[in-house]
């Protein structure tokens, strides 16, 4: 299932932290984001078109393929984009629905041992194809994106009470009366682009209710969101059976909010990170919203690029870390355009 713990540890300096812690469908100009894609692809793009997760044993994810396709499109690299899309479509496409298996392990006898999808990967791939269809005027890209968007609506959108929500994957997150969600799978600029392409009847409730869920999912002293939440008719809370942390998944929530121009929703993240910076203490890689416990190591350079864009600053370079840190930095640079 798409629940790998992200590795922020490699290359990070350990930090002594104080208790208590601290939409448009049009693509951007390519010249402004070529640098991040050039550096990212040189380190993580294999010759066959696979993005390699160096922090998790060399596996690949539908998420990473989507990141790569977005960055290649934004850089105007059609050859790179086509290579990524060809591998993704061949290796990860499910045979039953137009979605993508979330994990590929080249060392396994069956590299795609878990056929389940991850909705963030599906969304990223569909968004990248939509953007590519607009940039290069290729109808096939647009048709593929539309088919994926339709499958997302059919298989990953559920009702819980009066709310319309986005499931993290087809299987494993929907029990009677209770749904488990990953807030970082709401990729707001992509959903805005889908709304522009397909209309409010298709996506309006997903965006409206998703924004409301995020507004309610503020926990602990710092009112931070957790990596996983659950929702039923009684409300929203940290998901049981998972660490109640603002951590390796949830750090993408402010990235996508900033990218989607939802500045008001960034207030809790700005407050927490600004407090750390004001007190000159390292920002922790995660914080437990219930106990207040913090990671004994600092946020990666890629995570700090997210901090920068959240605080309205130019995102720093994050080219020396592992796959996930570098991807965060590259995405922050793209969002800043």
- Pick from 254, 326, 247, 333: which is nearest to 286 by CA? 247
Which of 53, 73, 120, 209 is catalytic? The answer is 120
- Pick from 199, 215, 292, 296: which is nearest to 257 by CA? 215
H helix or E strand, kind and range, residue 71: helix 62-74
- Pick from 134, 25, 131, 140: which is nearest to 69 by CA? 131
185, 120 in Cβ contact below 8 A?
yes
How far apart (Å, rounded) are the C-alpha atoms in residues 152 and 146? 10
Residue 120 known to be catalytic: yes
- Pick from 279, 160, 299, 277: which is nearest to 229 by CA? 160
Which of 63, 122, 227, 308 is catalytic? The answer is 63
How far apart (Å, rounded) are the C-alpha atoms in residues 203 and 197? 10
Terminal Cα distance for the chain, rounded: 33
Residue 140 known to be catalytic: no
Triad 115, 121, 123: Cα angle to 5°: 120
Task: Note every long-range contact of 25-28, with CB atoms under 8 Å and residues 24 or more positions apart, other chains counting.
Answer: 25/130, 25/131, 25/134, 25/193, 25/196, 25/197, 26/134, 27/73, 27/74, 27/131, 27/134, 27/135, 28/74, 28/334, 28/337
Residue 184 CB: number of other CB atoms within 10 A? 21
Residue 113 CB: number of other CB atoms within 10 A? 11
Instruction: Give the catalytic positions in this structure.
Output: 63, 120
């Amino acid at each position: 299932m798409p629940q790998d713990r992200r590795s922020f540890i490699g290359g990070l300096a350990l930090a002594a932290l104080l208790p208590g812690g601290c939409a448009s469908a049009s693509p951007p100009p390519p010249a402004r984001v070529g640098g991040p894609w050039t550096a990212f692809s040189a380190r993580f793009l294999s010759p066959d078109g696979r993005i390699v997760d160096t922090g998790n044993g060399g596996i690949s994810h539908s998420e990473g393929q989507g990141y790569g396709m977005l960055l290649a499109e934004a850089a105007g690299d059609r050859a790179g984009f086509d290579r990524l899309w060809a591998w993704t479509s061949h290796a990860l496409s499910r045979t039953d629905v137009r979605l993508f298996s979330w994990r590929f392990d080249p060392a396994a006898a069956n590299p795609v041992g878990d056929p389940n999808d991850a909705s963030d990967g599906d969304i990223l791939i569909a968004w990248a194809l939509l953007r590519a269809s607009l940039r290069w005027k290729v109808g096939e890209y647009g048709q593929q994106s539309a088919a994926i968007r339709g499958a997302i609506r059919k298989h990953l959108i559920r009702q819980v009470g009066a709310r319309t929500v986005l499931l993290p994957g087809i299987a494993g997150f929907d029990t009677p009366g209770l749904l488990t969600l990953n807030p970082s799978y709401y990729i707001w600029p992509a959903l805005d682009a889908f709304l522009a392409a397909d209309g409010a009847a298709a996506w309006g409730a997903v965006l409206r209710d998703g924004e409301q869920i995020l507004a309610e999912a503020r926990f602990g002293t710092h009112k931070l969101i957790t990596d996983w939440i659950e929702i039923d008719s009684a409300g929203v809370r940290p998901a049981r059976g998972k660490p109640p942390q603002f951590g390796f998944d949830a750090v993408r929530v402010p990235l996508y909010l900033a990218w989607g121009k939802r500045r008001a929703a960034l207030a809790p993240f700005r407050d927490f990170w600004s407090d750390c910076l004001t007190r000159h203490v390292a920002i922790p890689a995660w914080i437990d919203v219930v106990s207040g416990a913090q990671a004994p190591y600092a946020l990666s350079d890629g995570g700090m690029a997210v901090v920068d864009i959240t605080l309205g600053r130019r995102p720093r370079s994050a080219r020396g870390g592992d796959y996930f840190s570098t991807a965060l930095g590259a995405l922050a640079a793209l969002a800043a355009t």
